[in-house]
Amino acid sequence: TDDRCSGVLPELYFSRETLDRQSDKRTDKTWLEAQQSDPNTVYLLFSNVNPMVSRCEEDKSSEVLDKLCRFRYDEVKDLIQKPKTKLIFLGVEKKKPPSSCSQVQEGSWEPPAWFAVGTDEDATELLKRCREDNCFFPESPNRNLLKFSEEEAGIVAHARSVLVWHDRYSFCPTCGSGTSLEEGGHKRRCLNSECRSLKGVHNTCYPRVDPVVIMLVVHPDRNQCLLGRKKSFPVGMFSCLAGFIEPGEAIEDAVRREVEEESGVKVGLVRYICSQPWPMPSNLMIGCLAIATSTNIKVDQNEIEEAQWFTRQQIAESLHRGANPALMLPPSQTIAHQLIRYWICKNANL
Amino acid sequence: TDDRCSGVLPELYFSRETLDRQSDKRTDKTWLEAQQSDPNTVYLLFSNVNPMVSRCEEDKSSEVLDKLCRFRYDEVKDLIQKPKTKLIFLGVEKKKPPSSCSQVQEGSWEPPAWFAVGTDEDATELLKRCREDNCFFPESPNRNLLKFSEEEAGIVAHARSVLVWHDRYSFCPTCGSGTSLEEGGHKRRCLNSECRSLKGVHNTCYPRVDPVVIMLVVHPDRNQCLLGRKKSFPVGMFSCLAGFIEPGEAIEDAVRREVEEESGVKVGLVRYICSQPWPMPSNLMIGCLAIATSTNIKVDQNEIEEAQWFTRQQIAESLHRGANPALMLPPSQTIAHQLIRYWICKNANL
Ligand SMILES: Nc1ncnc2c1ncn2[C@@H]1O[C@H](COP(=O)(O)O)[C@@H](O)[C@H]1O
Ligand SMILES: Nc1ncnc2c1ncn2[C@@H]1O[C@H](COP(=O)(O)O)[C@@H](O)[C@H]1O
Ligand SMILES: [Mg+2]
Ligand SMILES: [Mg+2]
Ligand SMILES: [Mg+2]
Ligand SMILES: [Mg+2]
Ligand SMILES: [Mg+2]
Ligand SMILES: [Mg+2]
Ligand SMILES: [Zn+2]
Ligand SMILES: [Zn+2]
């Protein structure tokens, strides 16, 4: 029995699959075109890689909520037709039709499709298209993309990862030629008909997802955990160590290597806990608990400014008090936060 | 307590970290150059992306063993100096110095470094460089790369994944310019000094690793499992379903989506079991057990020719008898095989 990801662990931010991706429809041009001009279709506007949002009044929980601005076909038709625009088919709504809907009887009801529109048109002009006030494009990605509802965060994760890929991979890495967008924005095809990328299946045509290990390292005494800070972190903030999985490496080995590289601490047992897509730019965070077999810390000064063992009590206080000047943990939307919380709640028995 | 990957599950093929990658040395040009000309340094020769091997007599276990051909600096010096050659620093041996070694007393002993040399020189000419007989470059990748010892398989996984990346990503995907190799072959830098890829950190400069979910789907009755076959499989062979993790997707959601896409079966609980690097070309296989919540099969004809529920007994017979004409399972080097074996051994309690 496995209650890791239920109970103690909440659903992770960016993880809700609000839409049904219907990946088989990506190659169905007729269907896609019909959906594009359907009046029920929902369009999201991205200025390059960031979505247009409207900021809502702070609600009772005193949290700011950003909502995706939604557009209809007529409002974005001109943009879609521009050759430089990237149109991504995100999927269709999972919800059932309203029982009163007459199309249901006729059998013609289909759940609305969603598309992301990536454009490099002037951002100020784009904002004028929205009927709502307080609209803007969140800029420096990290913190600014953590203010969505759970439903919308999942959609942003998908759309932003794909758009960032288009933004950085518009040339064929195999031959340097231009490429064109295909399959509802989930493929790029090389325009050079002689290119090797067109023969057989290889990964250059498909969006890139970078797997990253992120781990809470537990002290051999089981009562302390290892957190580190990068120079770029706000004062007092510490978080889990993390690093890119390298070619030819399994998850557990990447955990051991990155922990030793960054902190000098050796790790034995590694246990996978949960994963989270992280669309800055397009990572898959693979969250683990790891049991240290040594305790001496020697940080890799390039990456980590400081690493330290923290007691359960220090962590619990920081989690419950919120703002603790001595130790600030990453926000609840991060898998780092959830790994730390998991360890505190589950008594650290791996 | 967690015995998943010990006990029942053996170490997975391609997963042994025989070398210490010492990634911090990749930026140390002086150190790297000193290692290159060191007489103890080991070089592996790759004809593009496949390693030169010598085939050994079938040993007692009647299994063929392929061994990597090892070269010294003097034997490959000319190749290394060619501008088109790709030189990859793989790491240093983990083994301790021999106690008799005089350099140990002087404190100057260092474990030998290993490099992979990727070249497009004529393969027949390359083979003449080897002192051993029966040398060749295994061609169609899959089955041919499954004949190494555990130690060497891990090295091949690392080297081949990186070389395949160089082979397919020699142009900058952001601007289409040429790129040059850096950091011991673990980075490519765009030669266009204006390129965006040189500002900030993005993934275009780094080797690509594609995360893939591979899952054994267990029937709600816990006594059957779902296997499928691609058209390209040998007659009678069935394996686990698998698929690429998409942008903006967590591991568990990718499992649910791929199973439903490929077989029509719906999945509830998903449990991570183990992972395996798979260097064809550069995947990270993430192995899971998944509990079905529906049983009707409807295959996606594009990808899967047939999918079927198999009883524990059918699986056990195939595992133990070896060649069973009715059901052939993938070889023991694959994570698919190990997931199936795990399920049989562990009584299927997730
Ligand atoms: N796919 C990738 N994307 C971004 N940076 C990478 C990637 N792979 C390796 N790196 C390097 O890894 C560093 C971050 O270290 P770490 O996250 O600990 O692996 C970055 O500064 C890059 O130099
Ligand atoms: N990174 C990738 N490398 C290769 N094929 C991919 C990749 N991403 C998506 N695909 C597509 O996925 C198909 C295989 O399906 P699946 O393994 O079930 O996801 C391939 O035929 C490609 O069309
Ligand atoms: Mg790293
Ligand atoms: Mg690191
Ligand atoms: Mg790191
Ligand atoms: Mg599939
Ligand atoms: Mg797929
Ligand atoms: Mg598949
Ligand atoms: Zn090309
Ligand atoms: Zn460039």
| Cβ of residue B93 lying under 6 Å from some atom of ligand 2 | no
Give A303's pLDDT tier (boundaries 50, 70, 90): confident
Q: What is the 3-state secondary structure (H, E, C) of A187-224?
A: EEEECCCCCHHHCCCCHHHCCCCEEEEEEEEECCCCCE
Choose the mutation target among A21, A206, A231, A249 for the interface with B, i.e. most B CBs under 10 Å.
Answer: A249
CA of A277 to the centre of ligand 4 (A): 19
CA of B125 to the centre of ligand 8 (A): 39
- Smallest Cα distance from B285 to chain A, Å: 8
pLDDT of residue A4: 41
Predicted complex ipTM exceeds 0.90: yes
- Smallest Cα distance from A161 to chain B, Å: 6
Residues A182-198: pLDDT tens digits?
999 999 999 999 999 99
Determine the average pLDDT of the residues in A52-58: 85
- CA distances (Å), B66 to each of A281, A330, B138, B152, in order? 40, 49, 9, 9
Determine the average pLDDT of the residues in A118-131: 94
pLDDT of residue B131: 87
Give B257's pLDDT tier (boundaries 50, 70, 90): very high
Residues A190-244: pLDDT tens digits?
999 999 999 988 999 999 999 999 999 999 999 999 999 999 999 999 999 999 9
**Strand blocks (E) in A5-155:** 19-20, 42-47, 50-51, 53-56, 65-68, 70-71, 86-93, 113-119, 135-136
CA of A242 to the centre of ligand 3 (A): 8
| Cβ of residue A210 lying under 6 Å from some atom of ligand 1 | yes
Whether the Cβ atoms of residue B115 and residue B68 lie closer than 8 Å to each other = no
Backbone phi and psi for residue B45, each to the nearest 5 degrees, phi listed first: -105, 130
Residues B128-144: pLDDT tens digits?
999 888 899 998 666 78
- Is A77's pLDDT higher than 90? yes
- Is B2's pLDDT higher than 60? no
Give A101's pLDDT tier (boundaries 50, 70, 90): low
- Is B100's pLDDT higher than 60? yes
Q: Shortest CB distance from B168 goes to which of A202, A211, A284?
A: A202
Judged on CB neighbours under 10 Å (0-12, 13-18, 19+), B5 is buried
Residue with tokens 């924005």: A185
Residues B200-243: pLDDT tens digits?
889 999 999 999 999 999 999 999 999 999 999 999 999 999 99
Residue type, B270: V
From the list A283, A261, A270, the residue with the least C-alpha distance to A217 is A270
| Cβ of residue B200 lying under 6 Å from some atom of ligand 1 | no
Long-range contacts of B143-148 (CB under 8 A, 24+ apart): B143/B331, B144/B50, B145/B50, B145/B279, B145/B280, B146/B13, B146/B331, B146/B333, B147/B53, B147/B55, B147/B63, B147/B64, B147/B65, B147/B66, B148/B53, B148/B65, B148/B66, B148/B67, B148/B68
Rounded Cα–Cα distance for residues A131 and A272 (Å): 45
Out of A16-20, A57-61, A254-258, B122-126, least confident range: A57-61
Rounded to whole angstroms, the maximal C-alpha distance in chain B is 70
| Cβ of residue A236 lying under 6 Å from some atom of ligand 1 | no
Pocket test for ligand 1, best of A165, A214, A244, A258 (most atoms within 8 A of CB): A244
Q: What is the mean pLDDT of chain A?
A: 92
Which residues sit opposite A278 in a β-bridge?
A283
How crowded is the C-beta side of B82, counted as CA atoms within 13 Å? 11
Q: Which helix (H) or strand (E) holds B79?
A: helix B73-81
- Measured between its terminal Cα atoms, the distance across chain B in Å is 14
Model confidence pTM above 0.80: yes
Whether the Cβ atoms of residue B217 and residue B263 lie closer than 8 Å to each other = yes
Contact A2 B271 (CB under 8 A): yes
Whether the Cβ atoms of residue A277 and residue B247 lie closer than 8 Å to each other = yes
| Cβ of residue A244 lying under 6 Å from some atom of ligand 1 | yes
Choose the mutation target among B188, B272, B285, B304 for the interface with A, i.e. most A CBs under 10 Å.
Answer: B272
Contact A248 B279 (CB under 8 A): yes
Pocket test for ligand 1, best of B21, B161, B198, B201 (most atoms within 8 A of CB): B201
| Cβ of residue A203 lying under 6 Å from some atom of ligand 2 | yes
Which residues sit opposite A214 in a β-bridge?
A242, A287
Q: Shortest CB distance from A248 goes to which of B161, B250, B286?
A: B161
- Is B8's pLDDT higher than 70? no
Contact A244 B206 (CB under 8 A): yes
Residue type, B341: R
Rounded Cα–Cα distance for residues B97 and B64 (Å): 31
Which is more confidently placed, B55 or B108?
Answer: B55
| Cβ of residue A200 lying under 6 Å from some atom of ligand 2 | no
Determine the average pLDDT of the residues in A255-269: 98
Neighbouring residues of the ion ligand 3, judged by CB less than 5 Å: A 243-244
pLDDT of residue B188: 98
Residues A125-176: pLDDT tens digits?
999 999 888 899 998 666 789 999 999 999 999 999 999 999 999 999 999 9
Close Cβ partners of A183 (under 8 Å, ≥ 6 residues apart): A26, A27
Choose the mutation target among B168, B232, B257 for the interface with A, i.e. most A CBs under 10 Å.
Answer: B168
Which is more confidently placed, A311 or B108?
Answer: A311
Between A and B, how many residue pairs show a Cβ–Cβ distance under 8 A? 198
CA of A272 to the centre of ligand 5 (A): 18
pLDDT of residue A268: 97
Q: What is the mean pLDDT of chain B?
A: 92
Residues A264-293: pLDDT tens digits?
999 999 999 999 999 999 999 999 999 999
pLDDT of residue A1: 33
Judged on CB neighbours under 10 Å (0-12, 13-18, 19+), B276 is buried
- Is A2's pLDDT higher than 50? no
